[in-house]
A = this chain, B = another copy of it.
Amino acid sequence: MSKAYSLNQIVARLGGQIVDSAGHTSELDYLTRVSSLKNAKSGALSFFNDTKYTKQLKNTQASVVILHPQYQHLTSLPKVVTDNPYAYFAKVSSFLSPKATYAKGIHSSAVIHASAVIPQSCSIAAQVLIAENVVLGECVVIEAGCVIEQNVKIANNTRCEPNVTIKHGTTIGHDCTIYAGAVIATEGFGYAEDGELGDKRWVKIPQVGHVVIGNHVDIGANTTIDRGALDDTIIEDGVKLDNLIQIAHNCHIGAHTIIAGCVGIAGSAKIGQHCKIGGAAMILGHLNIADHVTISPGSLISRSIVKSGTYTALMPFQAHEDWLKTAANVRQLSSLADKIKHLDKTFELRLAALEKLESK
């Protein structure tokens, strides 16, 4: 069960301005959770940030609404007014949500190498393997079925969800979450083509670099991050990676960059700080992306970007029959362009002749 707090306690802790609370005293003394506008009941704080949801705001049963000053006239409910309601909501949700707890100690079915350093504050679940020379910080949580290979270092308060694989030599900072099924530091995809024409083979290039992950990094479910070929793959502080992302060998992801699901980042790409990369985007290898760049979802980036801003590469979608015509024209685009050029040029010549005639 969640604990209850009064609105005064919440605002004392998180800031913001209480408005329209008069006459709601008893209700505002017993707030237990956050809810969506639509499903909120008494005792819940909710959140409004988009006029699309004005109707839900009118009908909500929430006890308190968190919103921006510009929207405060839209409801007479008790409210917390703040400049960044979304961040406020994140914090109040975090404050009210009961923290998950993990049994301290090492489950009897886990297999732990004698050389591993595991403080008593850690929680090591069933069916885990921890190999030689692994060093864990305080309060690290390793959930069921994880495999932590030799020489991995994981700092305080980091948590690995079930069935995560962290391969040898990886370093992970504090306060990270590695979600279920993620694979860190598997070998990069590096092959050289060898052999005579007609008998070509791929020769594997040993991948002897490591993966180095900063603090406050989240890595999504079933996401994969490859170890470096020679130097390291680096994920800086505060990076947030969603599910099913592929980060290839020797990538360098700058601090506080956020990457949505299904993205691929090819080898040796260097992404700046505070970038936002939309779902299913793809960034080719060896590119440099500046700080504060936003890449739209589904966009393939094929050259370096030196200037902050938003970049997009998308075919607009259409009803299929319309698209068929568009596609045919796209294929013909260079002959269309030639025809325009020709028309333009011929037209200019004829115009001159025409003007001569008119002037007669």
Q: How far is the CA of A105 from the CA of B160 in the complex (A)?
A: 28
By a CB distance below 8 angstroms, the chain B residues around A301 are: 317
Given contacts A282-B297, A284-B297, A337-B329, contact A87 B222 (CB under 8 A): no
Is A94 a contact partner of B323 (Cβ separation < 8 A)? no
By a CB distance below 8 angstroms, the chain B residues around A12 are: none
> Is A13 interfacial (CB-CB < 8 Å)?
no
Q: How many copies does the complex hold?
A: 3
- Distance in Å from the Cβ of A353 to the closest Cβ of chain B? 6
- Distance in Å from the Cβ of A216 to the closest Cβ of chain B? 8
- Distance in Å from the Cβ of A147 to the closest Cβ of chain B? 4
Query: Number of contacting residues on A, CB 8 A?
Result: 129
Q: How far is the CA of A313 from the CA of B145 in the complex (A)?
A: 41
Is B326 a contact partner of A334 (Cβ separation < 8 A)? yes
> Is A309 interfacial (CB-CB < 8 Å)?
yes
Is A261 a contact partner of B240 (Cβ separation < 8 A)? no
Complex: chain B residue closest to A187, CB-CB? B179
Cβ proximity bits A175-188 to B, threshold 8 Å, 1 near / 0 not: 00101110100110
By a CB distance below 8 angstroms, the chain B residues around A51 are: none
Given contacts A262-B246, A336-B337, A339-B340, contact A231 B39 (CB under 8 A): yes
Complex: chain B residue closest to A279, CB-CB? B264
> Is A78 interfacial (CB-CB < 8 Å)?
no
Q: How far is the CA of A320 from the CA of B179 in the complex (A)?
A: 32
Residues of A whose CB lies within 8 Å of any CB of B are: 33-36, 38-39, 84, 86-87, 89-91, 93-94, 97, 107, 109, 111, 125-127, 129, 143-145, 147, 149, 161-163, 165, 167, 177, 179-181, 183, 186-187, 189-194, 200-206, 208, 216, 218, 220-222, 224, 226, 230-231, 238, 240, 242-244, 246, 248, 256, 258, 260-262, 264, 266, 274, 279-280, 282, 284, 294, 296-303, 309-320, 322-334, 336-337, 339-340, 343-344, 346-347, 350-351, 353-354, 357-358
